[in-house]
Amino acid sequence: MSSHLTMSRVVWTGVAVLGALTFATPVFAGECPAGKTKPNAQPMVDHKAVGVTDVTLGTIDLGKQPARIEGRELRFRKLTIAPGGIVPWHTHDDRPALIFVQQGEIVEYASNCVDPIVHKAGDIRPEVHGTSHWWKNLGKETVILYVGDVRRDPNDNHM
């Protein structure tokens, strides 16, 4: 009987957790807080890259793949940002990307968000048309980002 009672508690606890997850409002780490998006919320700044190492780990010419996306390259990079380091202002209007924060914590200043956005280890940040921003490592730990982007110009070295 006690085995049945214990199993019953486990099942009802699972149902309660599942119910809470089903009806909870989703919250995503590393996004602009609700009600804080606004066009031109952050002005463009002219910071230079500081304390950033940008290493291309691999590329694929997408024109030579079955999708035949001529003039586009899929690029995968590792960015290492030292404490106090800055990734300068850039846009993703023609260069979509996914950023994965592997280590540390970094602050993004996005053109369409009133508040700075904090990204922590484990976060993924999509960067798409309409995204212009810069990033700064305000912490004491080196930040490591992995970046997958699709660029048109192989000489475009924007971070």
**Can you read off the two tokens belonging to residue 78?**
């590792």
Contact yes or no for 143/81 (Cβ under 8 A): yes
Q: Model confidence over 43-78: pLDDT tens digits? A: 899 999 999 999 999 999 999 999 999 999 999 999
- Token readout for 106 is 């970094």
86-123 core/surface letters (b: 16 or more CB in 10 A; e: else): bbbbbebeebebebebeebbbbbbbbbbeeebebeeeb
For the chain, what is the mean pLDDT?
A: 85
Q: pTM (2 decimals)?
A: 0.78
The SS3 call for residue 151 is strand
Sorted by sequence, the CB contacts under 8 Å of residue 150 that are 6+ apart come out as 62, 69, 72, 73, 74, 75, 95, 96, 97
pLDDT tens digits, 5-45: 444 444 444 444 444 444 433 445 678 889 999 999 988 99
Coil, strand, or helix at residue 21?
helix
pLDDT of residue 131: 87
Cα–Cα distance, 10 to 16 (Å, whole number): 10
Cα–Cα distance, 156 to 138 (Å, whole number): 27
